[in-house]
Chains A and B, each alone.
Chain A
Amino acid sequence: MRKLVWRNLLRNKRRTIFTVASVTIAVLLLCVLMAVLATFEPAATAASENRLVVRHAVSLQFDLPEAYWRRLKTLDHVEAVTPLTWFGGIYKDQRPENFFPQFGADPVTLLDVFTDIQIGEDELAAWSAERRAFLAGRSLAEKYGWEIGDEIFLRGEIYPVDLNLTLRGIYTHADDESQERQLFFHRAYVEEALGNPGSVGTYWLRVDVIDNIPAVIETAEAMFENSQARVKAETEQAFALSFTEMIGNVKLLFGAIGLAVVVSVFFITANTMAMAMRERSTEMAVLKTLGFRRGRVLGLVTAESAAIGLLGGVAGVALAAVVLRSVANALAGVFPLFRVLALSPDVAAIGVGVALVLGLLSGALPGWVMARRPVVDGLRRLG
């Protein structure tokens, strides 16, 4: 029986390959769409209500002058300002699972702004005291089994600087575990290695009362209106929300594209199976004459189309993994977010699952019609 399914599959190789390929492409597209969406997701988590981000007006990829720090502190209602610079270095290797955010931070002011970061006094002091010390979130430290005193190496990608860091403190976050998957080191370490260019990626401000946030945004942006680098100030929520909103639209668009592709590929495979079955209508009638039940005949056809679906699904997922990895590698430097672009087991499972269901249905539908046809019809057709 399995032999018959297999041989039928190989019967018209070109047609089978073509059908498998169309399923492969559909699954590839579906997986890539889902993986891209998944990268956006984590950005939309926990945001503090009274924090502001000040960044370059044009793009996150441009740095701001160090001199802005002092000036931002002078703004009314601003209680604390701290700089954070995305380092984007490589730990161990390029694999997405070894990616995590690393920030050049200022030990003195970091916790004045990020009041939700919790750490022991001693560890905080130890971190502040040593130029090459770093602070890791608990989840991150647990993932790699780091302990206080351990040394790690980060290879610079955005900056031509490699870092040798020593773990001096492990922090926890009040209510968001995802915030524990990053590390902070002294921004001065990188600054010195680069010859003190005095650049900062983003400034984070703590505002006294939420009501004052609009005013602070306005004055902060006005303050640098005529400076070398204009800034954009937004709440941490908006910062996250701008992602979320974009994601909403993108999701809808991606969903529509995905659905359209899957549906059209379903018609391709169903049509192929219907064609194959018309060619074999005599054989199906013969099987029934030999005593095969309708269900068994249907099973043979469905197994065949399910195999096509499964082959296409596995190939599509495999191809998606390759495509996503190369895209991630190619774009990591330009757009750090895409560093985490990878095929998750969930997405892979959905990809294979969709292909399998697609295969099953495209065989079952015409198969059901054929299996129910009277035996004599099938025998008369060609005989």
Chain B
Amino acid sequence: MSDPVVRIEGVGKVYGGDRLRVEVLSGIDLEVREGEFVALMGPSGSGKTTLLNLIAAIDRPTAGRVLVAGQDTSALGEGDLAPWRHRHIGYIFQLYNLIPVLTAYENVELPLTLSRLKTADRRAKVETALGVVDLLDRQDHFPRELSGGQLQRVAIARAIVTDPTVLLADEPTGDLDAESAERVLRLIERLNTEFEKTIILVTHDPRAAEHAHRVLHLEKGKLWSDPEG
């Protein structure tokens, strides 16, 4: 058994001040091992995105610790977090969040502009990532020229191009038709089986959750596992 890649210890998240206090998460514990594929389910507003953001260290917990790849992220300052994120986190959004003025190729290339790479190496990485999502033929298209399913596949390529430690996907199929959704889900599953990526997938869709090794439920600030998980 390998060390957990993600380890969450007694994490709580409270929004707002004294008047508009919202306790979204309280006393959350979670371990995700390397190579694991975990689905996170729960009603709207239950704090799934919040939990994902805490793991990605784009938000900070109000209680507890979040460790990713052994690093306590709350111990890092803003200046160290950016490169840390670049190395360890691949984030896939529900609404793709591609940069509209960049082509598919350039969007995937974007994270690589932060690392010192030879042009040829960079090109090879981008092409590999676009190859995995099967969009090499669309690489010169701008986001407005692509369908929702294609956009999400470009976003996945962008998330994997840096070979991050964890892939976080926040309802990646939430905005897609059934066929595109299925394709994206199979792709995510393949990233886990073939490329052994550690994946945390937030979804509303029980069928999507079926692809995962383990299904977690978040409700009223608490987290529990499926009985059979």
Residues of B within 8 A of A285 (CB): 58
A345 within 8 A of B: no
A344 within 8 A of B: no
Task: Choose the segment among A50-58, A102-110, A260-268, A287-295 that binds chain B (4+ C-beta atoms closer than 8 Å).
Answer: A287-295
Residue of B nearest to A283 (CB): B99
A286 within 8 A of B: yes
B89 within 8 A of A: yes
Q: Is the CB of A294 within 8 A of B106?
A: no
B114 within 8 A of A: yes
In the bound complex, CA of A383 to CA of B83 (Å): 24
Given contacts A3-B102, A282-B97, A379-B93, contact A288 B86 (CB under 8 A): no
Q: Is the CB of B82 within 8 A of A376?
A: no
B94 within 8 A of A: yes
Q: Is the CB of A288 within 8 A of B82?
A: yes
Chain B residues within 8 Å of chain A by Cβ, number: 29
Q: Is the CB of A290 within 8 A of B101?
A: no
User: How close is A296's CB to chain B, nearest CB, in angstroms?
Assistant: 8
Residues of A within 8 A of B59 (CB): 374-376
Q: Is the CB of A379 within 8 A of B101?
A: no
Given contacts A282-B97, A383-B95, contact A292 B114 (CB under 8 A): yes
User: How close is A29's CB to chain B, nearest CB, in angstroms?
Assistant: 33
In the bound complex, CA of A289 to CA of B84 (Å): 10
Residue of A nearest to B83 (CB): A291
Residues of A within 8 A of B86 (CB): 290-291
In the bound complex, CA of A93 to CA of B129 (Å): 65
User: How close is B26's CB to chain A, nearest CB, in angstroms?
Assistant: 19
User: How close is B61's CB to chain A, nearest CB, in angstroms?
Assistant: 12
In the bound complex, CA of A291 to CA of B82 (Å): 4
Q: Is the CB of A290 within 8 A of B58?
A: no
Residues of B within 8 A of A4 (CB): 99, 101-102, 106, 110
Q: Is the CB of A289 within 8 A of B99?
A: no
Q: Is the CB of B58 within 8 A of A286?
A: no
Interface residues on A, range: 20 to 34
B78 within 8 A of A: yes
In the bound complex, CA of A49 to CA of B176 (Å): 90
A1 within 8 A of B: yes
User: How close is A6's CB to chain B, nearest CB, in angstroms?
Assistant: 9
Q: Is the CB of B111 within 8 A of A7?
A: no
Residue of A nearest to B79 (CB): A293
- 8 Å CB contact of A290 from B94, B95, B111: B111
Q: Is the CB of A383 within 8 A of B114?
A: no
Residue of B nearest to A7 (CB): B101
User: How close is B204's CB to chain A, nearest CB, in angstroms?
Assistant: 15
B87-110, CB < 8 A from A: 87, 89, 91, 93-95, 97, 99-102, 106, 110
In the bound complex, CA of A285 to CA of B59 (Å): 12
Given contacts A294-B78, A379-B93, A383-B95, contact A289 B102 (CB under 8 A): no
Residue of A nearest to B60 (CB): A374
Q: Is the CB of B82 within 8 A of A7?
A: no
- Please name 8 further chain A to chain B contacts, defined as beta carbons within 8 Å, in addition to the given A283-B97, A294-B79, A375-B59, sorted by A numbering: A3-B106, A286-B97, A287-B110, A290-B114, A291-B82, A292-B82, A292-B114, A296-B114
Q: Which 7 A-B pairs have the closest CB atoms?
A: A291-B86, A7-B101, A375-B58, A293-B82, A286-B97, A291-B85, A290-B111
27 contacts between A and B (CB under 8 A): A3-B106, A4-B99, A4-B101, A4-B102, A10-B101, A285-B58, A286-B93, A286-B97, A287-B110, A288-B58, A291-B87, A291-B89, A291-B111, A291-B114, A291-B162, A293-B82, A293-B83, A294-B79, A374-B59, A375-B59, A376-B53, A376-B58, A379-B58, A382-B95, A383-B93, A383-B95, A383-B97
